[in-house]
Chain A
Amino acid sequence: MSEFRGIYTLWKREVLRLVRETSRLVSSVVTPVLWLVIFGTGLGVSMGTSAGYNYQQFLFPGIIGQTLLFTAMFMGISVIWDKQFGFMKEILVAPVSRLSIFIGKMLGVGTNSMLQGIIVFILGFFIGIPITFIMTIEIIPLMILVTIGLVCIGLIIASVLDSLENFGVIMTFVNMPMFFLSGALFPVATLPDWLKWVFYINPLTYGVDAMRAVTMGSVWHTILPLWQTIAVIALFDVVAVLIGSYAFTRTK
């Protein structure tokens, strides 16, 4: 019981902080809008609608994936902030297990990135994505599934690092490659074989792929059958949660 209360209070802290930092929420919406409206329109015009869908429709799930990725990583890494500014100590000496701390943090960060992902999803309505009720109830669980693994990556990195000096390095070597090599911006199927495998080992590739299946319907052909794609994401989540909780229980 007390463990649940610990998880709840850690989750609540993240949500309170999110609500307080409205400027961050606003700025985090601006980036996807720029991608969707400017990049999407610009590149879309030159690409046309050859395959039965336009580029913005194709880009839209990719940008949801990007939002989930960046928020989850950024917020996951915020644990380093807690370490640096001492708040982590208060949590670590509390009579709450490390596993609960990890779960509370994961749920809190996950809520953050879900909220931003949903905002971007709603924005799709304004750029002409035909959002339906069915699509909404299909994509939300899928987004949750994608988020869990990404949050864990952020938390794992945070449990290893002690200072934020490496933040830029993480952006360069983790965030950007994961984004560019996920098929968020262009289809994987038409790539040369030597490049394809890099996409196939990126968990976000499957997340974006599955979300495309939901928002674009039958015009989109997933890399693997949809259930297998979802299975890959779920498997990745399980592994990430296990590694994350292990890394967290060992953190000082």
Chain B
Amino acid sequence: MTYMIEARNLTRKFGNLTAVDDISFQVEKGEVFGLLGPNGAGKSTTISILCTILKPTWGTALVNGFDVVKNSSQVRKSIGIVFQDPSIDDKLTGRENMVMHGDLYGVPRSQMKSRIDEVLKLVELEDRADSYMSTYSGGMRRRLEIARSLIHYPKVLFLDEPTIGLDPQSRDHIWSYIRELIKNEDITVILTTHYMEEADRLCNRIAIVDHGKIVAMDTPKKLKDDLGGETITVKTRKNELFLEKINEAKIAKAAAIVNDEVKMTVDGAASLLPAVINIAAQNSIFVESISVQEPQLDDVFMHYTGRALRDGKGKEIPPMIRMRRRA
């Protein structure tokens, strides 16, 4: 089996900070591979190395069989990138941005128009193609960037936080476009995200990245199954104290405060519930609500890193996002 991406001991230092610390992984052709981790975990740096923007301090990586340092030009021709930050020219129209990309990547002129129409159709922007970018909404810009990254028939598509800063509806749209393109294009996708749900829905395999290292890597299902156990979520009026007491009692495999609730991973939640309630009662902690859940990817993350994915950041992601059907 040849791999579309092969990272071997990738390391990148910025002064004293090791942003990427000895990362190795392989991605097979046609896979959707997710790098999941909190901000600053080293996801974007890893992507930047694979996209030839940054050179690794140590280690090597092959993309489509080409070395990212020695054959950077070949790598660039093989990949499409959607950056975390917007990278379009506001003064131009959607189509002008697209044509420019095609020119930069040397797409044959005879194919250019039909290919641009094709990718615009994929993201449902064919009607807006000749409007100026300054009239596009945030979600539309993202869609255009995704379409643009596909013009030159890349073998590997990098999506760096493709839905960051978008409202849940636009996020849903982007997900369905990504699924569509995986179906229609002969392409391998690497995406970074700090949305668990995004990783769970889209990826065949996930690598959980924390402090520049891969702490776990497998299919979302396997990661969840391996974790075993369930999650007990307790909302109390004294979360800090409650967490402390739970930790003292050593009944949870991992516990943390997430979104103003104490979440703990346990084996056999049903038999542990009385104990949990007793701890609250003994310490005069008022329990507002309590629930038991099958394992989620969030819990996987907590298990491997010892903390919640968005520590202290509050409610960045609504707990449930409704799937929207496209007409």
Task: List residues of chain A with CB under 8 Å of any chain B CB.
Answer: 1-2, 5-6, 8-9, 12-13, 16-17, 20-21, 85-96
Contact = CB atoms under 8 A, between A and B. Distances in A.
A85 B90 CA distance: 9
A91 B81 CA distance: 11
Given A6-B104, A20-B91, A86-B83, 15 more contacts: A8-B103, A17-B91, A17-B92, A85-B90, A86-B85, A86-B86, A87-B87, A89-B83, A89-B87, A90-B88, A90-B101, A91-B104, A92-B53, A94-B104, A95-B104
A85 B91 CA distance: 12
Interface string B60-80: 000000000000010011000
B138 interface: no
26 contacts: A1-B106, A5-B104, A5-B106, A6-B103, A9-B103, A13-B89, A16-B96, A17-B89, A20-B91, A21-B91, A85-B86, A86-B83, A86-B86, A89-B85, A90-B83, A90-B88, A90-B101, A91-B104, A93-B51, A93-B76, A93-B81, A94-B76, A94-B101, A94-B105, A95-B77, A96-B104
A89 B89 contact: no
B36 to A, nearest CB: 23
B88 A95 contact: no
Interface residues of B, number: 24
* Interface of chain A: mostly helix, strand, loop or mixed: helix
A114 to B, nearest CB: 20
Contacts of A17: 89, 91-92
Contacts of A1: 106
B132 to A, nearest CB: 8
A95 B53 CA distance: 12
B89 A87 contact: yes
A5 B53 contact: no
B83 A9 contact: no
Given A5-B106, A87-B87, A95 B76 contact: yes
Contacts of A92: 53
Contact of B100 (A9, A20, A88, A93): A9
A5 B103 contact: yes
B131 to A, nearest CB: 13
Q: Which of A5, A9, A89, A93 has the most CB atoms of chain B within a 10 A radius of its CB?
A: A93
* Interface of chain B: mostly helix, strand, loop or mixed: loop
A5 B106 CA distance: 7
Contacts of B192: none
B52 interface: yes
Nearest to B75: A95
B61 to A, nearest CB: 15
A89 B83 CA distance: 8
Interface string B24-51: 0000000000000000000000000001
Contacts of A94: 76, 101, 104-105
Q: Which 6 A-B pairs have the closest CB atoms?
A: A9-B103, A94-B104, A2-B106, A86-B87, A95-B76, A90-B87
Given A6-B104, A95-B106, A96-B104, A16 B91 contact: yes
Nearest to A89: B87
A21 B132 CA distance: 13
Contacts of B52: 93
Contacts of A21: 91
Contacts of A16: 91-92, 96
B100 A13 contact: yes
Contacts of B89: 13, 17, 87
Q: Which of A16, A87, A90 has the most CB atoms of chain B within a 10 A radius of its CB?
A: A90
Contacts of A91: 104
A93 B87 CA distance: 11
Contacts of A6: 103-104
B53 A93 contact: yes
Contacts of A89: 53, 83, 85, 87
Contacts of A85: 86, 90
